[in-house]
Every structure is written in C-alpha cells, then in structure tokens.
Amino acid sequence: MMTQRRVVVAAALMLGCALSASAQTKDDSRTQYPAVLANSYAALSVGAVDYLFLPQQLQNGFRASSVDAPHLTVRVALFGHEINRFISVQGSYMRPVKFVSYRNVNGAPGNDHHHVRVNFGSVTLKTNAPVAKRESLYAEGGFAITSRTGFAIDSVPALTDAHFASILLGGGVDLHVNRNWDLTAGMTYSPGKAAVDQQRTIFSSVGFRYTMRPLTAEQVEASSEGGFIFPRQLIQLEYSSGAGYSVNDFVSTKVPIFWGGNAKVDMGVAPHYERNVFHTRRLFALDVGTSAGVYMTRQKDDRFYTASVYPLFRFTFLRSRVVDVYFAYSAAGPTYISKVFLDDLNTGRHFTFQDFMSLGLFAGRKRHLNLGVKLNHFSNGNIFTQNAGVTIPLTFSAGYAF
C-alpha cells in the first residue's frame, strides 16, 4: 500500500551557504535550477506486467484453489539526469497496483486469501537516438533488485520470501511534445531466479517524462523581482505527541495521500535543518534538509533513533502582510533507523526512508517565526521483504527562519 501512491520526485541536494532572508532581489540565484537539477527529470509509466505465479510455487504440503495475479503496474523514475543529449542515468521503482493473491490455501473456506508483495527497483543507463524531429528511440540497461514477500500459515512458510539482484534491459520510443514534456512507450525485461522459484518479469507501458530545463533569463528575472520572501534556511524542533492516529488513518485510507504503518510511536523529539535551493516567483520552493530523532513506541516503549536527509516540496498558498501559510510534502528521504524490530514487528533493515507532510506558517515582518503541524512516517518502500512501517501521529514544530 505504501509506495503505490508514491509518485513524487525525490532528490538529496546541498548548495553553498547563504545567510540572510529578505524580499527576493535580482541577484537571487535560487530562482534558477541548481546544476544538479538542470536537465534532470522525473517520469511515470503505467502498463501491464507479465510474471508467473502458480499454485505449484507453494511449499510442499500447501495448495491453493487459484492465484490472482493483477497486471496493472506503475513504474516511477524517482530521479533521472541527462548527462548529455544522448545519455542519461536514472533510478526507478516499480510495483503492481494490486498484489498477487493465493486463494483458499489448503481448502480454507470463503474469501480466504494471502497476499504476495512483489516490488522492483533499478538503476539504469539510457541511450537516446533521434529518428525524426519529435521522435527518438531509446535503450536502457543496468542493475535491478526484485523483492518478494511471501506468507506463512500457522507460522509455517507457504511461499518463501525472495530478494535478489539481476540485470534489467529495455527499450522504446519517445515523443517530444515540447522542451520539457515527453510521451514514452516501451518494454523492460529482468530475469527471474530458479533457486527461489521467481519467474522473469516483462513490463509493457506508456507514460510521460518531465525534464527541468534551465529557465530563461526572463523567467529568472520575473521570479527574482517577485518581492516575496522565501527563507534561505530554517531550524526547527518538533515534538511528536502520540495523539491523532485517526488523522493518519484518514489520509492513508479514506483520502490516500499519505502512508500508514503498523509500528506506532507514542513520543518523539527531532531537530531539523532545511536550506532552500530553488523557488518560483510566489508559490513553490524546493528545500533540502537533515534531521535526527529519538522516539518511543506505543506498545512496548521501544526506544529508537533516526538520522535522515530529505527533499522538501513547499507550496505557499496564502500570503499576507504578516504571515505566509504553506503546505509541505517530503518523501523518500534516506534514513538510518537504529532498531529493526519495534513492538515485535519487523520493519526491514537499518536503511529506510522518511516521509512527512505538514501545514505551517512563517510569521513576522521578515518571516523569522515558523510554526507547523506534521504527520511523519518511516518505511523502506518494500525494497526489502519485511516492511512493517512506522506511523508517527500529530507532530508539532517551532522554528527560526533566516
């Protein structure tokens, strides 16, 4: 459920120091994409995956009446960069919208079923060959990871977990709509592994790609002369209350814009530091940040620590004379988590990701005061076979912007 909706772009960037915050001026370099973002892109593809899941893949002593293997699958290029007009490199994540289900195992009655999660990650090199004014062919190849989470019945494994590396090969065609947007169609192939009874995977898809081309001098000047304050740096301290799980449930199930988790936090404290690296004239800002936290779980008072770096997408939707109000979203921030088992739940490994969304404000004539409320979450996005996920409810923050 967690990465099904994860279609946002993630990056970890650090630029040079800037010390003061005031209304934007003509020499504000943050209104142009930094070098690491210029000619970088994100892409989304939707299509059909072809892989085999059969009753015979169950361990000896288990049988199923049927296997449902939905084909609709999403692949997201979380971050790609054009090295030149012919070569690019990208990191991608792929998963079916609905997972495989083994039904009525060993004659279980009714609608009994067991899910099998399968997720794919890859880092590939792409080559591009123009064939017409707006069309080009591409090929890609690189490294892939397949992660399969099986299931057990009465603590006996019926379908085992699998986690292995392989190659990924693919190709397709691009239609260049304009300077920034492309439509894509193609196929990818990754082999299976006989030792864990996982079949090859073929994915056929169509989609789109958005590339961040360097902005024109006119666009840069218009943003620089906007007269709106975008703080260069922000220091925050946040406190997680252990209250408000109903809000997490609402935004992860009723209105699916965030993620849930099985391990629940009852208390936590975390300092954050964020630096703005790009902004438009009025609405959008991209920050990069780092945080460190200490948390206590709700059921068994398990204490754990985290250290993260992350991208932050901030949308300032209301500006007034003394206060600016924003919505912020951060996803896939690489994180170290000190404990793997929390409340006897297996969260995967010490590497995970931090996600949060927040509503906040900058107040005062120079917008030095920052207040906000957040929902936080840690999970590995199913790149490992175990991924209980950590839910952190309402978190309150206060900070100083400069």
**More confidently predicted of 1 and 306:** 306
pTM over 0.95: no
Please tell me the distance from the alpha carbon of residue 15 to that of residue 5, in angstroms, as a whole number.
Answer: 29
Q: What's the mean pLDDT in 33-43?
A: 94
Instruction: Check if 39-212 and 219-401 are the same fold.
Output: yes
Please tell me the distance from the alpha carbon of residue 202 to that of residue 196, in angstroms, as a whole number.
Answer: 18
Q: What's the mean pLDDT in 124-137?
A: 96
| pLDDT tens per residue, range 236-288 | 999 998 888 889 888 888 888 898 889 999 999 999 999 999 999 999 999 99
Please tell me the distance from the alpha carbon of residue 1 to that of residue 9, in angstroms, as a whole number.
Answer: 18
Q: What's the mean pLDDT in 223-227?
A: 90
Q: Whose CA is closest to 22, among 175, 221, 226?
A: 226
> Structural domain boundaries of the chain?
39-212, 219-401
Task: Answer yes or no: are the C-beta atoms of 139 and 127 closer than 8 Å.
Answer: yes
What's residue 52's pLDDT?
87
Third-level CATH fold of 39-212: Porin (2.40.160)
Task: Answer yes or no: are the C-beta atoms of 307 and 335 closer than 8 Å.
Answer: yes
Least confident span in 126-140, 206-220, 241-255:
241-255
Asked whether the predicted pLDDT for residue 54 surpasses 90, the reply is no
358-394 CB burial, b ≥16 within 10 A, e <16: bebbbbeeebbebebbbbbbbbbbbbbbbbbbbbbbb
In SS3 terms, the chain reads as: CCHHHCCCCCCCCCCCCCCCCCECCCCCHHHCCCCCCCCEEEEEEEEEEECCCCHHHCCCCCCCCEEECCCEEEEEEEEEEECCCCEEEEEEEEEECCCEEEECHHHCCCCCEEEEEEEEEEEEEEEEEECCCCEEEEEEEEEEEEEEECEEECCEEEECCEEEEEEEEEEEEEEECCCCEEEEEEEEEECCEHHHCECCEEEEEEEEEEEECCCCHHHHHHHHCCCCECCCEEEEEEEECCCCHHHHHHHHHHCCCCCCCCEEEEEEEEEEEEEEEEECCCCEEEEEEEEEEEEEECCCCCEEEEEEEEEEEEEEEEECCCEEEEEEEEEEEEEEECCCEECCEECCCCEEEEEEEEEEEEECCCCCEEEEEEEEEEECCCCCCCCCCEEEEEEEEEEEEC
Q: What's the mean pLDDT in 121-144?
A: 96
Identity of residue 279: H
Asked whether the predicted pLDDT for residue 17 surpasses 60, the reply is no
The mean predicted confidence, pLDDT, of the chain is 91
Is residue 109 very low, low, confident or very high in pLDDT (cuts 50, 70, 90)?
confident
What's residue 316's pLDDT?
98
Task: Answer yes or no: are the C-beta atoms of 238 and 358 closer than 8 Å.
Answer: no
Please tell me the distance from the alpha carbon of residue 312 to that of residue 37, in angstroms, as a whole number.
Answer: 14
Please tell me the distance from the alpha carbon of residue 198 to that of residue 57, in angstroms, as a whole number.
Answer: 9
Please tell me the distance from the alpha carbon of residue 278 to that of residue 364, in angstroms, as a whole number.
Answer: 22
Third-level CATH fold of 219-401: Porin (2.40.160)
Q: What's the mean pLDDT in 356-362?
A: 97
